[in-house]
Structure 1
Amino acid sequence: MTVMLERPTTDGTDPRRFEELCAALDELNVPDGFNAEIIRGNIVVSPWSKAYYLDVMDLVCDQLRPRLPEGHRISSAPALYVFPGVERAYGPDVHAAHRQTRRTTSRHLDGEGLSFVAELTSPSTRDDDLTDKVERYGKAGVPVYLLLDMQEDSATVYWSPTPKGYASHLTLPFGEKIHIPDPFDCHVDTTGFQAPGEG
């Protein structure tokens, strides 16, 4: 059985402008240690995350993989999901989507194919992760957005997307188990998500 999720459509921007932004992004020579996204109609370059973020991303993937909807895959590999109607192209830290979403020769994946995203905040991306991405993922119909606030040691799960954004959310401190709603309906244990002690 294949599970595809219905999504609201977005509109209101010039598709040619977004295509030009995507082309410019593709041609951009991003320095090692940085990644690029399109946020609010602008190309934004930010530094890669701290090394321990990789372990946190793996922990999220490992816990959700057994609960994926049929035909869906989860990864923390670099990928750029586009939302042309709102001039956004995000590279989420962890992303789950139907396998068909990835079966393309394009460098850009359809953001409407996402079933789950997780973002790990950093000082340079935190504001966008807490505002722009919460709003846009919700309005685009992404069923679940897990925001891991690495500066505040907390996890917030957003669900029930609507044309106005997410209708529901829950925040818990790291170290707790947080419920991930449908289509996963499981818990993610956030033990070990905190920064390691220096020593």
Structure 2
Amino acid sequence: MTTPELLEITDRFHVRPEDFDESTRILAGKSRPMHMRVELIDGRIRSRAVPDGDHGRIIEWLTRICMQSRPELWLYAEQGLRIQEYRLGRARPDGSLAPSGAFVGQGEWADPSPVLMAVEVTSYDVDTDQRARVEKPRAYAETGIPVYLLIDRDSCEVTVFSGPDGVRYESAHTVPFGKEIALPDPVGITLRTEQLKDWVR
């Protein structure tokens, strides 16, 4: 089964986590296109474009800031996480800020409990709006991840979601690129976002 066929099927049916895990293992070994990553949110498979160079540079920029401010933590790029209620979803955030060594001994889809912040940088694809701005905030809040950082290259804004109540984040603070924004506890880092202007189309 190819990835387009798998995505067509999921439009009609909800997918069980164990079936998703098996399908991604098969596709990784055979025919999954290298320009696509897949996730499972709300029982449906979601595809997303592989990051471009500017996307990677933003993650590098954020990683350096985190290392300087909180050397006991690490920003794990694309670590698979079991998310949502009962951990039935599968997400691969662009970054997961957690203590160093937090995922040692875990498989492709790790326990999200150590994650202090999930990070998404928008990609230039058709699903970005629904995935990054609607589904991911809800999914990460359901998971109990304290902070969700959205770096939105379409609107040139940074949004920090915090205070998950098990359904949604109670707080969302947005600033345009160029302004400072605080990542609240348990992260406790302030971002100066001027450089982000250099990495958008």
TM-score, length basis structure 2: 0.80
| Paired residues of 2:58 and 2:199 also in contact (CA < 8 A) | no
| Paired residues of 1:101 and 1:110 also in contact (CA < 8 A) | no
Q: Mark the runs of 5 or more structure 2 residues left unpaired by the alignment.
A: 1-14
Confirm whether residue 21 of structure 1 aligns to residue 24 of structure 2: no
Structure 2 counterpart of 1:152, one-letter code: S
Equivalent position of 1:158 in the other structure = 161
Q: Kindly report which structure 2 residues correspond to 1:138-177, keeping only aligned pairs within 5 A, or say none.
A: 138-177=141-180
Q: In angstroms, what is the RMSD of aligned CA positions? A: 2.2
Q: Mark the runs of 5 or more structure 1 residues left unpaired by the alignment.
A: 1-15
Equivalent position of 1:118 in the other structure = 119
Structure 2 counterpart of 1:23, one-letter code: E
Which structure has greater helix proportion? 2
Structure 2 counterpart of 1:47, one-letter code: A
- Identify which of structures 1 and 2 has the higher relative contact order when contacts are C-alpha pairs closer than 8 Å and 6+ apart: 1
| Paired residues of 1:53 and 1:120 also in contact (CA < 8 A) | yes
Equivalent position of 1:180 in the other structure = 183
Once the 2 structures are TM-superposed, how far is the Cα of residue 75 of structure 1 from its aligned partner? Answer: 2.6
Moved more, 40-49 or 153-162: 40-49
Equivalent position of 1:87 in the other structure = 88
Distance 1:83 1:197 in 2: 29
| Paired residues of 1:149 and 1:155 also in contact (CA < 8 A) | yes
Distance 1:25 1:196 in 2: 31
Equivalent position of 1:68 in the other structure = 70
| Paired residues of 1:69 and 1:184 also in contact (CA < 8 A) | no
Once the 2 structures are TM-superposed, how far is the Cα of residue 196 of structure 1 from its aligned partner? Answer: 4.7
Moved more, 57-66 or 143-152: 57-66
Cα deviation, 1:86-132, whole Å, max 9, x if unaligned, reads: 53111111111234531124121112221111101123323211111
Moved more, 131-140 or 42-51: 42-51
Q: 1:66 to 1:184 in 2, by over 3 A?
A: farther
Cα deviation, 1:34-90, whole Å, max 9, x if unaligned, reads: 2111122122222212211111111111112233384x32132x3211126253111
Q: 1:197 to 1:188 in 2, by over 3 A?
A: closer
TM-score, length basis structure 1: 0.81
Cα deviation, 1:115-151, whole Å, max 9, x if unaligned, reads: 1111011233232111111011112111111011110
State how many pairs are aligned. 181
Equivalent position of 1:129 in the other structure = 132
Distance 2:168 2:106 in 1: 30
